[in-house]
């Protein structure tokens, strides 16, 4: 069922932001409202220039451009360059799937999600920038792919629930990767501290 993964992950994020984030965190209400708006808009579409576009994707796109606009000049240029590479990777995957679907031997959602996360890791050292990088690269890829399909007169909805599923999986995998990295660093730091205390006592 399309959208099921997106709704599950979105609800989990909303619950964590609403009930588990510190009340003093200035991003708590903003994140809760943002995720809730995204879920409400997800089934809605609008027709623009003969393209069927999900309203949630337009909302996401606007949010991501505002975020990118607040980056420093060099960081902004590199971030947009990286989104272009992810956009091309996204479109290339879909075109290969369209013209030669035999090589898609696993779930396409997971294959594409892992590809997007892997490329984001290779391109962006700042772990917190990987999440918006994946989202913006995927959305721009959706627009480019829809434009290519239009030349063949194939109908395609930009930002459908299937696309939101892919993005939700990608963000979850990337977040898990970041959490594992932080956990390893925390354990290493505490282990070194324990070793130093042990040496002092001996």
pLDDT in tens, the chain (202 residues): 676 888 889 888 888 888 877 777 777 888 888 999 999 998 999 998 888 999 999 999 999 999 888 888 888 899 999 999 999 999 998 888 887 777 667 777 888 888 899 999 898 888 888 889 999 999 999 999 999 998 888 888 898 888 899 899 998 888 888 788 778 777 777 766 566 666 665 5
pLDDT at 192: 64
**Is residue 48 classed exposed, middle or buried when 0-12, 13-18 and 19+ CB atoms within 10 A define those classes?**
exposed
With contact defined as beta carbons under 8 Å apart, do 133 and 120 qualify?
A: yes
Strands across the sheet with 45-48, in order?
45-48, 51-54, 157-158
pLDDT at 155: 85
With contact defined as beta carbons under 8 Å apart, do 120 and 113 qualify?
A: no
**What residues form DSSP beta bridges with 142?**
none
Give per-residue burial for 122-157: e unless 16+ CB within 10 Å, then b. Answer: ebbeebebbbbbbbbbbbbbbbbbbeebeeeeeebb
């Amino acid at each position: 069922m399309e959208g099921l993964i997106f709704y599950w992950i979105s609800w989990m994020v909303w619950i964590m932001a609403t009930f588990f984030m510190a009340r003093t965190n200035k991003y708590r209400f903003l994140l809760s409202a943002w995720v809730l708006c995204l879920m409400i808009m997800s089934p809605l579409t609008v027709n623009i220039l003969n393209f069927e576009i999900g309203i949630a994707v337009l909302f996401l796109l606007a949010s991501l451009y505002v975020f990118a606009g607040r980056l420093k000049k060099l960081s902004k240029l590199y971030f947009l360059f990286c989104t272009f590479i992810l956009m091309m990777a996204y479109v290339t995957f879909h075109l290969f799937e369209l013209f030669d679907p035999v090589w898609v031997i696993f779930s396409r959602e997971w294959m594409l999600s892992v590809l997007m996360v892997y490329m984001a890791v290779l391109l962006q050292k700042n772990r917190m920038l990987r999440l918006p990088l994946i989202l913006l690269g995927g959305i721009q890829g959706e627009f480019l792919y829809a434009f290519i399909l239009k030349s063949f007169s194939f109908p395609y909805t930009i930002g459908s629930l299937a696309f939101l599923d892919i993005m939700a999986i990608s963000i979850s995998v990337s977040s898990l990767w970041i959490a594992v990295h932080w956990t390893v660093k925390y354990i290493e730091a505490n282990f070194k501290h324990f070793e130093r205390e042990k040496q002092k006592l001996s």
